[in-house]
Structure 1
Amino acid sequence: MNVFRNAVLAGLFTLAAGAAAQAQVSSISTPPQGSVWNTMASVIAGQARESAGMGLVVQPYGGNAQMMQAVNDGLAEYSLNDVNDVITAVGGTGEYAAALPNLRVIARINPFPIGLYVKESSGMTAVSALAGKSVPSGWDAFPIARSHISAILAAGGLTWDDVKQVPVPELIRGSDDMASGRVDSAFFAVGGPKVAEIDASVGGVRFLTVDANDETLAAIQKVRPAFYFSEVAPAPVRVGVPEPMMFVTWDNVLLAGAHVSDEQVGQLLAAIFDNKDAIAKAYPPLGALNIETAFKEYPGVEYHPGAVAFFKERGVAQSPAE
């Protein structure tokens, strides 16, 4: 009888432990609500909960440095970021005073076009038209924007010395200041929900065009080595893109901390790539998800071993850095 009872108790303990592990809550660190990364993370987390039963939640932070620090220190399991910023964070250069060695890439998610946008009533259509106009600067709570705007200005043949600099603290505030007239332009990613909000509040916005050629490509890659140009076509979710336009672009990557188990990483990647159609339906910019291009080599950063195992199992070879 005691043997039977002990076996039953052991079985119950195993089931309870399994249920607890399944219910374990993990988080994706993001910028504030209204940002593209926050929206993307919310969709990914929702799909992971629905299809894989993962206890995944979105945790907003004030900016990239806080997001990366949280993952590095084990306070968050995952994050979404510009691969250029990840390279900088791991190396402890640029805006990062100390290296964050525990960041691991787990997948290339999509190309991430960015730009400066203005009120449609301004009459401006190109970045070059911002000469003598005001551009958001400072970015104390979102310092990654400094390098991004430097690249956008360079792609329009301008530098910071050619524009009026108006300090803004972070991404959402920058768009609000443009709407109120405090600054002539705002910085955001194409497809950002905040852009649609501003568009509705001011009677129309548009992104400014850049000059995409070999000379400006060299200029933007001096700012960050993994920047490139991509063409973006109009679509309902891409507010402010009235015709096919070229944008400064980076690869958006999903990260995990070194403390996250291989099993958890593989489970999340399976939830994403096995349900990419549902994810794209929830947020169209994620329609660029493609397992065949998701395992891309980048200088200065490592892939999580759980991701390496996942792609090997799916027969996906690593593509070289551009």
Structure 2
Amino acid sequence: MKLINRNLFSTLAAVAMVTSGGAAMAQVSSFSTPPQGSVWNTMASVISGEARESTDMRLVVQPYGGNAQMMQAVNDQLAEFSLNDVNDVITAVSGTGEYDMTMPNLRVVARINPFPVGLYVKEDSGMTAVSDLAGKSVPSGWDAFPIARSHISAILAAGGLSWDDVDQVPVPELIRGSDDMASGRVDSAFFAVGGPKVAEVDASVGGVRFLTVEANDETLAKIQDVRPAFYFSEVEPAPVRVGVKEPMAFVTWDNVLVAGTHVPDEQVAQLMEVIFDQREAIAGAYPPLGALNLETAYREYPGVEYHPGAVAFFEKRGVDMAPAQ
């Protein structure tokens, strides 16, 4: 795994400060995300836009090459916020899985929404279920987006397959993976439901569909062997959910807002006010964020802590923070 060169990061940060007016612009904060076109980049852009519109926050979106880079940006005080799979945050903090160094400065702020993911194909492929991928090609490698390895492992398991049952075609990251599927280099692509890139590919190839999985106790145990916080959720068709042709079960995780320990409590609380008090405006700009719900925004997770600014916000708003029974 290639983490960002710290000297390069420091240089870029210094250049940004100088070109934007030096110390007078130091209050600009950033959201680290994957590349443009990804769901997290879209979500961060919508939230940041609302923050600028409804408050005096100067919040901008800064894309990086993948999860490791965007988590390191927050850990190293080069970004204030990010969005990520809670499982990936847990492994980043502990320095396990795809991470070869600990990132102890990451804190959870809030559970944002459930995040269903899947493998999708061209509609004219004739495939409708993950099990149909036996002997077909599936994107692998993911050197710039290693989180995808565990997610696809879980999706294949939920379809009764393993990596040994498919033809592995290396791709570096999300956007390239979808482009390679569109061009015919690989038979399937991995993405989150509602991702703008899925809609783009759908328009370019004449239609796409997500492949179904078997959601039962046996497959639940299989996906939780991969990541303990995975679960199944049922997704209904909707215009924004391109490729969802009927009510379908998807491998799902909790998507969380992350902040660094360097971010002041007041700034964390201010962004939380934007997210939960301006929920309707945010959901209007990006419907999947309609799942935002203050009452379900706190959930205990193993191996990670909440930012103290978030804890104070939840307490002030009367959110139940009692341990799950």
Query: Does structure 1 residue 239 correspond to structure 2 residue 242?
Result: yes
Query: Alpha-carbon deviation of 1:316?
Result: 0.3
In the other structure, the counterpart of 1:173 is 176
In the other structure, the counterpart of 2:155 is 152
In the other structure, the counterpart of 1:211 is 214
1:238-284 Cα offsets, whole Å, 9 max, x none, are: 00001100000000000000000000000000011000000000000
- Which of residues 73, 79, 83 in structure 2 aligns to 1:76? 79
Query: Alpha-carbon deviation of 1:23?
Result: 7.8
SS in structure 2 of the partner of residue 125 of structure 1: coil
Query: Alpha-carbon deviation of 1:24?
Result: 1.4
Aligned-residue CA RMSD (Å): 1.3
Which residues in structure 2 correspond to 1:225-304 (within 5 Å)?
A: 225-304=228-307
Query: Does structure 1 residue 118 correspond to structure 2 residue 127?
Result: no
Identity in percent: 84
4+ residue stretches of structure 1 with deviation over 3 A? 20-23, 319-322
Query: Alpha-carbon deviation of 1:44?
Result: 0.3
1:138-161 Cα offsets, whole Å, 9 max, x none, are: 000000000000000000000000
In the other structure, the counterpart of 2:69 is 66
Query: Alpha-carbon deviation of 1:119?
Result: 0.1
Q: How far apart, in 1, do the equivalents of 2:25 and 2:103 lie?
A: 29
Q: How far apart, in 2, do the equivalents of 1:319 and 1:228 lie?
A: 22
Q: How far apart, in 1, do the equivalents of 2:109 and 2:79 lie?
A: 15
Q: How far apart, in 1, do the equivalents of 2:45 and 2:324 lie?
A: 29
Q: How far apart, in 1, do the equivalents of 2:299 and 2:32 lie?
A: 22
In the other structure, the counterpart of 2:16 is none
In the other structure, the counterpart of 2:60 is 57
Q: How far apart, in 2, do the equivalents of 1:128 and 1:301 lie?
A: 35
After TM superposition, the score normalised by the length of structure 2 is: 0.92
- Which of residues 118, 132, 135 in structure 2 aligns to 1:132? 135
Q: How far apart, in 2, do the equivalents of 1:217 and 1:205 lie?
A: 26
Q: How far apart, in 1, do the equivalents of 2:322 and 2:101 lie?
A: 29
Gaps of 5+ in 1: 1-19
Letter of the structure 1 residue corresponding to residue 88 of structure 2: D
Query: Alpha-carbon deviation of 1:320?
Result: 4.4
Is residue 125–residue 208 contact of structure 1 (8 Å, CA) maintained in 2?
yes
Highest CA radius of gyration, 1 or 2? 1
Query: Alpha-carbon deviation of 1:318?
Result: 2.0
- Which of residues 105, 110, 121 in structure 2 aligns to 1:107? 110
1:65-92 Cα offsets, whole Å, 9 max, x none, are: 0000000000000000000000000010
In the other structure, the counterpart of 1:14 is none
- Which of residues 91, 94, 108 in structure 2 aligns to 1:91? 94
Letter of the structure 1 residue corresponding to residue 93 of structure 2: V
Query: Does structure 1 residue 25 correspond to structure 2 residue 54?
Result: no
For this pair of structures, how many residues does the alignment match? 303
Gaps of 5+ in 2: 1-22
After TM superposition, the score normalised by the length of structure 1 is: 0.92
